[in-house]
Amino acid sequence: MPSMPSDLEISRATLRKPLSDVAGDMGIEPRLFEPYGHAAGKIALEAIDEFATRPRAKYVVVTSITPTPLGEGKTTTTVGLGQAFAHIGKRGVIAVRQASMGPTFGIKGGAAGGGYSQVVPMEAVNLHLTGDLHAVTSAHNLLAAMVDNHLHKGNALDIDPLAVAWRRVLDVNDRDLRQIVTGLGGRQDGIPRQTGFDITAASEVMAVLALASSLPDLRTRLGRMVVAYDRRGEPVTAEDVRGAGAMCVQLRDALKPNLLQTTEQTPALVHCGPFGNIAHGNSSVVADLIGIRCGDYLVTEAGFGADMGAERFFNIKCRASELTPDAAVVVATVRGLKAHTGRYHVVAGKPLPEEMLAENPDDVRDGATNLRKQIANVRAHGVTPVVAVNAFPGDYDSEKQAIVDVAAEEGARAAITTHATEGGKGAAELAEAVAEACAEPAGFSYLYPDDASLTEKIETLARRMYGADGIELSTTARRQLEECERHGFGHLPVCVAKTHLSLSADPSRKGAPVGWTLPVREVRLSAGAGFVYPICGDMRTMPGLSSQPAAENIDIDEAGQVVGLS
């Protein structure tokens, strides 16, 4: 059997439509479309109001089982499903997150799908695109500079230098910047203090950009971001240091969603990429507000498993957009469920263990406790789940069928998909199942009310999403929750920062752990994005490079083309 071309080779061989024609297929007039070269374009925000009277597409979120470090193929499935609707006579539009160049040059590689279900051109998607991440980096660091300048120029707001919460960001994996000291030198070089860098995707500015529904909303959210606390313990905002206006100017174009296309010319909205651990891990609200009026189905992707990305999609993003989902796709893989037996050690960048590749449907069934829990997590929000069995060439029929059987036992539709190797036609059965699910009466609801206390919200997530017996608050976390309530942030949703590799807070615990308690170490505030995030583990917000980073293999050939991108 001939080997499959690389993602980059497939991308370059793809016949692409002029993007103006892709926009036209969506009903977007030329005056609302702004080309950025031949690869991408931006859609004017005026489209949101102008399209408001159009029929609303069915709204589908793609989530997954708790992933292995390799990922289970949510983006590829999102693309494949979006393409598949054309194969059953429907119009699909997809919305996915933007790639961060840190992982692209690190170990994970690109983030635009794969094989014959990817957003193209691959180079543009993974390298700069329209510069949105650079705009986020610049706006974030401008605010950091203004905070430090305020301290240097007299500190009229009486900011406590030891309580500055605003770090700096950079879109690169660089562990040496995690903890730094600024202001070294002399009197004219600032005030020395300890701080650090996060990766750009972890910036609250990125989360704000993803959740803003308009330019005025963006300006308001930027202004209420808390950057520090004064010596009385009161929050100091970006508005207080007079940085929000200039930041909004820098982000004015970045707020417009990017339009690209897939390998089958399906419209692809590629916009924003907030961190999936400490933020909500979903693409932008404005992309969905436009895309939901431009086809029959809008398929969007949520980061990590259904306990994290989908839960945040339901309880944070849908609160901001006021859109309600019609169905959710839960992606499952044979290798992922085998890993959830706890018998195998999967490491990113290394081959799967040899014994894991042997035919063993019993292993799949044993690890399916995780799939059963994630199906239940979707249903807890009143949304109909559909299981997508993302098939790999080495999977055995008995193993794939085991996943289908588990889904049937849980009363969920399921389809085996081969979209990575066959494109949209490989997900046509999935598209049919999703269409059936979307035709059922919708009963979407949030998991908790706004007026529940922050502690109650955390406990609800711990018990209902993760399967914990309860929560354990540290003294620090308890005090911080009380402060959030006192400062008027108790109505906000919560975004639990925990490992994505387990339903629990311990990445080594696989399947669906029981008999455990969620430990809450501390609580932080994203007032601009509009959520409180309890920290339940060690979250790395600035990754490091591996011993053999992907950057070592990326270069330019004699023809000036990118090589080595994966």
| Binding site as annotated, residues for ATP | 68-75
Beta strand 226-230 pairing with 235-237: antiparallel
3-state secondary structure of 226: strand
Give the C-alpha separation, 5 to 155, whole Å.
59
Per-residue tokens: 141: 């660091």
Whether the CB-CB separation of 99 and 111 falls below 8 Å is answered with: yes
Greatest Cα pair distance, the chain, in angstroms, is 71
Give the C-alpha separation, 30 to 20, whole Å.
7
Cβ-in-10-Å burial (0-12, 13-18, 19+) of 38 comes to exposed
Report CA dihedral (376, 381, 386, 387) to the nearest 10 degrees: -40
Residue type, 488: G
Whether the CB-CB separation of 297 and 434 falls below 8 Å is answered with: yes
Residue type, 149: N
Task: Provide the β-strand partners of residue 237.
Answer: 226
Distances (CA, A) of 216 to 221, 247, 364, 405, 525: 9, 13, 49, 49, 22
Whether the CB-CB separation of 135 and 253 falls below 8 Å is answered with: yes
Whether the CB-CB separation of 313 and 302 falls below 8 Å is answered with: yes
Placement of tokens 């044979």 in the chain = 334
Q: Residue ranges for the binding site?
A: 68-75
**DSSP structure string for 497-518:** B--SSSSSS-TT--SS--S-EE
Report CA dihedral (417, 78, 359, 410) to the nearest 10 degrees: -80
Residue type, 393: P
Report CA dihedral (82, 284, 507, 113) to the nearest 10 degrees: 30
